[in-house]
C-alpha cells in the first residue's frame, strides 16, 4: 500500500512538472493562486492537525487535500504589531532584518509577490487587511475590493477602502475616504468580495489574496458560534501560568493587558472559547470561498495557500499576546494544496512564511526575483525527507533571540541589561516548561545552540543592539 501511494505521488508530481515546463513555454494556462491569510491564528487551532476541541471542517478539508507544514514559523518582528513585518516578509520573501525600519512599510525597491506576478501576466486582486501602507498595496495589486489599512478593528464596524484605480488612498483627496462597514462581520465581508471576484474572473490567471482580520481581538463573534463551545470542556494549556516567571521585556504591551494579572483559569478559558468561536466562523467563510472556486470551474487549476501571520499565547507561560518567541507565538499554520501537491501529507521541515514567495514562483513556472531571501519548498513538498534549513531563528525587538534545531531550543533575553537564558528539550517538552539551562548534562547542547544562534545572526544580517556584550556573557 505504501509503495502504491508513493507511485501515485510520483505520477502527480511528474504531471505537475510537465505542466510547469509547458507553462514556461506558454503552451498552457498558468495556475491561479488563492492565498488565504488569517490574523493571530496559532498552529494548534485546526482540528485535523491535532486540536480535537476546535471545529474547523473546511480547514480540515484543506489539510486532507494538501500538504501541511507542521514546523512553519514567522521570523519575528521589531515592534509589538508582529503581523506587520510578518506580512511584509510574506510579500517580499525577505528576512525581517532586510526589511526597511521595523518592517511595517515596504519600500519601492522591495519587489512584492503581487507586483512580480503582474509582470508575468497575472491579475493580482487584494482583499482585506493590509498592514504595510497604501503605497505598497497600490503597487502590489492590479485590482481589489474592500481594503483595511490598519492593524486591528471592531470586526462588525471595520473601516475599509474601495479599490482606487488612481492608487492614491488619501483620506483628504477627491478620490474618496474609507467607509465603515457597519453590521456585517469583516470575515463575511471579505469572503463576499472573494466570491464576487471568482464569479467574474476572466481567462487571465489570477492571484487572489484574501487577508482576514480574524481571529485577532477584539474576540467577538455571533452567539451561534460562541455557543458551540462550553468553557467547562475547553482544556487549559499544559503550560498555563498565572504570570511569566521573569521580565521578558514586553509584559505591559497592549496584548498583555487583555486579561487580569495573575491569570486565572476561568478567564483564560473564556478567551479560548471566544478565540475558537472566531476561528470556526472564519472556517465557514473559507468554505464559502472554496465552494465558489469550485463553481467557477477553476478549482483544479488553482494553488491554494492557507496561512496565519503569527501565533498567540492566550495564557501559555502567563502571557496573552504574540510578543515573544515561544512556539505558541512563532509557529503558524501553513497548508498548500492544488495541482501536483500531495494530499493529506505532513512535512516537518523548518520553513518560514517568507518561503511562500519562491515556492509559488516555482509552482507556477515563474523565476523568482533576485531580491528574495526565502527558499522554495517544492522539494520538501515532493519528499518529506528533504530539509530547507537545519535550524529556525527568531527575534522579538531587541529583547529576545531564539534558535531551535530538531530537538532543542535556546531563548536568550536582554532586558535593560539583564541577561536570561532558557534551554528546552522540545522532543520531551514541546510546551517549553522545563528550563534546562542550569543542568550540566545539557552543557554541550547549550554551547552548540549558542554557536547556531551566532551563525543565524550572521546569515540573516541581524546586527541589533541585543548582541552588545553577548559574547562576554556566554563565556561566563
Question: Long-range pairs for 356-360 at CB < 8 Å and ≥24 separation?
Answer: 356/90, 356/93, 356/113, 356/305, 356/307, 357/90, 357/91, 357/92, 357/93, 357/113, 357/116, 358/93, 360/33, 360/113, 360/303, 360/305
In angstroms, the CA 305 to CA 66 distance is 9
Nearest to 312 by CA among 152, 159, 434, 462: 152
Q: Which three cell numbers stand for residue 179?
A: 467607509
Determine the distance from the C-alpha atom of residue 466 to the mean position of all C-alpha atoms in its chain, rounded to a whole number: 25
Grid cell, residue 273, equals: 472559547
- 11: exposed, middle or buried (Cβ count in 10 Å: 0-12, 13-18, 19+): exposed
Q: All domains of the chain, ordered by start, with CATH? A: 2-384 (3.40.720.10), 398-474 (3.30.1120.10)
**DSSP 3-state assignment of 158?**
strand
Distance in angstroms (rounded) separating the CA atoms of residues 241 and 51 = 20
Closest-CA residue to 95 (of 455, 468, 457): 457
Sheet containing strand 76-77, strands side by side: 76-77, 392-396, 400-404, 408-415, 418-425
CA–CA gap between residue 453 and residue 471 (Å, rounded): 11
Pairing of strands 392-396, 72-73: unpaired
Pairing of strands 76-77, 334-337: unpaired
Q: What is the dihedral of CA 374, 375, 380, 381, to 10 degrees?
A: 70
Distance CA 18, CA 8 (A): 15
SS3 (DSSP) at 320: coil
- pLDDT given at position 365: 96
Report d(CA 63, CA 346) in Å as an integer: 9
N-to-C CA span, the chain: 55
For every one of its 476 residues, what pLDDT tens digit does the chain have, with 9 covering 90 and above?
A: 444 445 444 544 544 554 445 444 443 469 999 999 999 999 999 999 999 999 999 999 999 999 999 999 999 998 899 999 999 999 999 999 898 778 888 989 999 999 999 999 999 999 999 999 899 999 999 999 999 999 999 999 999 999 987 777 776 544 456 778 778 999 999 999 999 999 997 778 999 999 999 999 999 999 999 999 999 999 999 999 999 999 999 999 999 999 999 999 999 999 999 999 999 999 999 999 999 999 999 999 999 999 999 999 999 999 999 999 999 999 999 999 999 999 999 999 999 999 999 999 999 999 999 999 999 999 999 999 999 999 999 999 999 999 999 999 999 999 999 999 999 999 999 999 999 999 999 999 999 999 999 999 999 999 889 999 999 999 88
* pTM of the predicted model as reported, rounded to 2 decimal places: 0.93
pLDDT at 175: 45
The reported pLDDT for the residue numbered 443 is: 97
pLDDT of residue 176: 55
Rounded CA-CA distance 133/117 in Å is 20
Find all residues with CB under 8 Å of 158, minimum gap 6, and list them: 148, 180, 181, 186, 189, 213
> Checking phi first, is residue 436 left (phi over 0); if not, alpha (psi -120 to 50) or beta?
alpha
Residue 29: predicted pLDDT = 60
Give the ranges where 74-158 is alpha helix by DSSP (H). 83-92, 113-119, 134-140
Amino acid at each position: 500500500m505504501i509503495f502504491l501511494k508513493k507511485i501515485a505521488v510520483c505520477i502527480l508530481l511528474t504531471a505537475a512538472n510537465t505542466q510547469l515546463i509547458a507553462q514556461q513555454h506558454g503552451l498552457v494556462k498558468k495556475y491561479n493562486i488563492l492565498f488565504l491569510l488569517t490574523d493571530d491564528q496559532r498552529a494548534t487551532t485546526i482540528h485535523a492537525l491535532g486540536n480535537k476541541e476546535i471545529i474547523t471542517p473546511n480547514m480540515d478539508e484543506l489539510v486532507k487535500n494538501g500538504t501541511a507544514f507542521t514546523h512553519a514559523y514567522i521570523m519575528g518582528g521589531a515592534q509589538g504589531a508582529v503581523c506587520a513585518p510578518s506580512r511584509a516578509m510574506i510579500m517580499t520573501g525577505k528576512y525581517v532584518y532586510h526589511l526597511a525600519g521595523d518592517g511595517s512599510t515596504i519600500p519601492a525597491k522591495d519587489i512584492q509577490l503581487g507586483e512580480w506576478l503582474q509582470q508575468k501576466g497575472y491579475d493580482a486582486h487584494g482583499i482585506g487587511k493590509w498592514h504595510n501602507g497604501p503605497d505598497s498595496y497600490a503597487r502590489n495589486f492590479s485590482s481589489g475590493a474592500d481594503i483595511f489599512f490598519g492593524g486591528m478593528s471592531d470586526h462588525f464596524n471595520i473601516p475599509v477602502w474601495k479599490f482606487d484605480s488612481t492608487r492614491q488612498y488619501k483620506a483628504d483627496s477627491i478620490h474618496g475616504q474609507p467607509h465603515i462597514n457597519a453590521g456585517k462581520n469583516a470575515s463575511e465581508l471579505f469572503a463576499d468580495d472573494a466570491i464576487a471576484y471568482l464569479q467574474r474572473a476572466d481567462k487571465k490567471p489570477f492571484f487572489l489574496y484574501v487577508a482576514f482580520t480574524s481571529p485577532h481581538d477584539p474576540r467577538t463573534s455571533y452567539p451561534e458560534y460562541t455557543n458551540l463551545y462550553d468553557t467547562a470542556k475547553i482544556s487549559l494549556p499544559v503550560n498555563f501560568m498565572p504570570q511569566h516567571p521573569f521580565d521578558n521585556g514586553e509584559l505591559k504591551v497592549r496584548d498583555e493587558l487583555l486579561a487580569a494579572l495573575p491569570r486565572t483559569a476561568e478567564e483564560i478559558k473564556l478567551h479560548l472559547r471566544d478565540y475558537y468561536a472566531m476561528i470556526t466562523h472564519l472556517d465557514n467563510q473559507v468554505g464559502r470561498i472554496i465552494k465558489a472556486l469550485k463553481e467557477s470551474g477553476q478549482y483544479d487549476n488553482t494553488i491554494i495557500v492557507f496561512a496565519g501571520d503569527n501565533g498567540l499565547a492566550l495564557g501559555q507561560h502567563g502571557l496573552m499576546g504574540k510578543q515573544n518567541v515561544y512556539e505558541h507565538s512563532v509557529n503558524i499554520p501553513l497548508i498548500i494544496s492544488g495541482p501536483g501537491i500531495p494530499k493529506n501529507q505532513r512535512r516537518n521541515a523548518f520553513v518560514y512564511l517568507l518561503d511562500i514567495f519562491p515556492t509559488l514562483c516555482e509552482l507556477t513556472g515563474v523565476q523568482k526575483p533576485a531580491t528574495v531571501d526565502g527558499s522554495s519548498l517544492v522539494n520538501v513538498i515532493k519528499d518529506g525527507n528533504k530539509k530547507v534549513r537545519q535550524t529556525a531563528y527568531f527575534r522579538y525587538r531587541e529583547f529576545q533571540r531564539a534558535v531551535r534545531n530538531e530537538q532543542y531550543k535556546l531563548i536568550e533575553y536582554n532586558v535593560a541589561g539583564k541577561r536570561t537564558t532558557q534551554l528546552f528539550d522540545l522532543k520531551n517538552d514541546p510546551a517549553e516548561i522545563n528550563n534546562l539551562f542550569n543542568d550540566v548534562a545539557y552543557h554541550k547542547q547549550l554551547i552548540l545552540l549558542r554557536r547556531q544562534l551566532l551563525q543565524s545572526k550572521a546569515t540573516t544580517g541581524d546586527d541589533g543592539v541585543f548582541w552588545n556584550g553577548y559574547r562576554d556573557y556566554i563565556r561566563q
